[in-house]
Amino acid sequence: MCCLVVALPGLKAAVKRPKILGIARMAFYVSNLSRTLAYYEDFLGFAEPYDLKNAGGTVRIAFIKINDYQHLELLAEFPEGDGMLNHIAFYTDNAEPLRRYLISRGIHAPSDVTKGRTGEKNCTVKDPDGHTVEFVEYQSDGWAMKDRGKDMPAARISDHIMHIGFTVGELKRSKAFYSGVLGFKEFWRGSADGITLSWVGLRVPNGKGYVDLMLYKELPPQDKRGGANHISLTTPNIARAVATLKARAAAVNYTRPIEIRVGHNRQRHANLFDPDGTRTELMEPSPLDGKPTPPSTGPSPWQGKHPGDIAFTPGTPFKVPGRIWIVLPRLCFRARKLISS
């Protein structure tokens, strides 16, 4: 059987990409919502301004507010993604043109922009590793903008998500999506062992937030990905932040040690973990001496193939026993099993 996909070679995107302004949120599954809320509210000091309930009246999604434009979503559901990660989201100034732009670049996107139960316009796609990536356009009558300036207690340990990190396999493939299509700009590469790359930092095209592509040689087990799939919260003084946390009454329920370290980027940080092992990084915004650390020049650790699919370079025809695909430029980033034997 044969499946033929046709696109005009050299076809240029007819739609200009709207702005991608920053990180909107990161969503995680949680096994015990009340315990996780205690971690974010009582220990870290954030507020839960609203939630979404299921048909039975129990909370399905709880929202933790970092600032007016940034939230965490906690899903009281069985995990079905990359470890406890459900999705990542960025905010844009115009969701509908962004949807059309993604389609013009060969990305499978929905037929229209929808308005969610929280009142925000959104468009959702998949990245090359299967992560759900959402683009949010905040609305004046949406829950986030209607509550601007509210639910941001002085006790919160940070007022800004500096970056988010998530696992990726093949770096070239991920950069083709995040940099080649979305316009993220690489600014740093880090190595934990001084030999191979461990992560690559890509900044959103129209803001200061960034993502860390967390690289691996072999994909960690589902229950071991909480360190890679993480949020990083800005703090101006890590020593003061850690002292504040240790002095809180809720600290008695946090049994892990809290250590201040100097990272490979020479920025001081401390790692915390929610009850399911998802990492919350507190990090100072600048290196100790104000001088940036040179990026790693090591190779990517990825050597394998993605289970259930075939990595390829767009524009290169390839064959699979019993099937033929012809994939032309800007159509997609990987081929899955499109047809059965």
Q: For residue 135, what are the CA distances in angstroms to 25, 115, 125, 227, 283? A: 10, 12, 9, 24, 26
Domain boundary assignment for the chain:
20-283
Beta bridge partners of 200: 189, 213
CB 233 within 8 A of CB 65: no
Q: How do 114-115 and 161-168 pair as beta strands?
A: unpaired
Asked if pLDDT for residue 37 goes beyond 70, the answer is: yes
The fourth-level CATH superfamily of domain 20-283 is 2,3-Dihydroxybiphenyl 1,2-Dioxygenase, domain 1 (3.10.180.10)
> Of 137, 30, 152, 153, whose CA–CA distance to 90 is shortest?
137
Both structure tokens of 327: 């994939």
Q: For residue 259, what are the CA distances in angstroms to 39, 198, 242? A: 18, 21, 8
pLDDT digits 0-9 by tens, 288-340: 988 888 999 999 998 765 543 333 333 333 232 333 333 333 333 333 333 33
pLDDT digits 0-9 by tens, 39-59: 999 999 999 999 999 999 999
pLDDT digits 0-9 by tens, 193-251: 999 999 999 999 999 999 999 999 888 888 889 999 999 999 999 999 999 999 999 99
- With 0-12 / 13-18 / 19 or more C-beta atoms within 10 angstroms meaning exposed / middle / buried, residue 65 is buried
